[in-house]
């Protein structure tokens, strides 16, 4: 838990310009330290999710437990990502006013 909190705080400080989304897993023995941990990291994190460490999974857990065979089946069903159909819009200074720019879509 502590390592995950520190890593999230470091990512927040050095990499992100907004909130880092992170779910920290904690063991039964770490559960009693959660209030202290949240107090220690309150000035370094904008938000944090915490989830008890489970090996049997949850119904709506952010991670999904599956076998290698199940994983390969799911990956095989993925469609290819096609970014060639994306739309590029050139933004010029005359379209900007202070801190925002107007982009007109067809």
What range defines the domain where residue 31 resides?
2-76
pTM of the full structure: 0.54
Structural domain contains residue 82: no
Note the Cα 52 to chain centre separation in Å: 18
Question: Within a domain: residue 8?
Answer: yes
Buried b (16+ CB within 10 A) or exposed e, 58-67: eeeeeeeeee
d(CA 95, CA 106): 16
Query: Residue 91: inside a domain, yes or no?
Result: no
∠ CA(77), CA(81), CA(83), 5° rounding? 165
Burial class (CB in 10 A: 0-12, 13-18, 19+), 8: buried
- Say if 64 falls within a structural domain: yes
Exposure on the CB side of residue 36, measured as CA atoms within 13 A: 6
- For the chain, the residue count is 106
Q: Is residue 102 part of a domain?
A: no
Q: Mind listing the pLDDT tens digit of every residue in the chain (106 residues)?
A: 999 999 999 998 998 878 888 999 999 999 999 999 999 999 999 889 998 887 666 666 566 778 999 999 999 999 888 766 666 656 566 667 777 776 665 5
């Amino acid at each position: 838990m502590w390592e995950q909190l520190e890593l999230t705080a470091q990512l927040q400080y050095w990499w992100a310009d907004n909130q880092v989304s992170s779910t920290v897993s904690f063991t039964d023995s770490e559960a009693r330290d959660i209030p202290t941990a949240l107090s220690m990291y309150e000035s370094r994190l904008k938000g944090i999710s915490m989830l008890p460490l489970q090996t049997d999974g949850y119904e709506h857990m952010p991670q999904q437990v599956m076998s290698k065979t199940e994983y390969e089946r799911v990956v095989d069903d993925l469609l290819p990502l096609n970014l060639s159909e994306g739309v590029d819009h050139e933004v010029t200074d005359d379209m900007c006013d202070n801190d925002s720019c107007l982009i007109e879509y067809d």
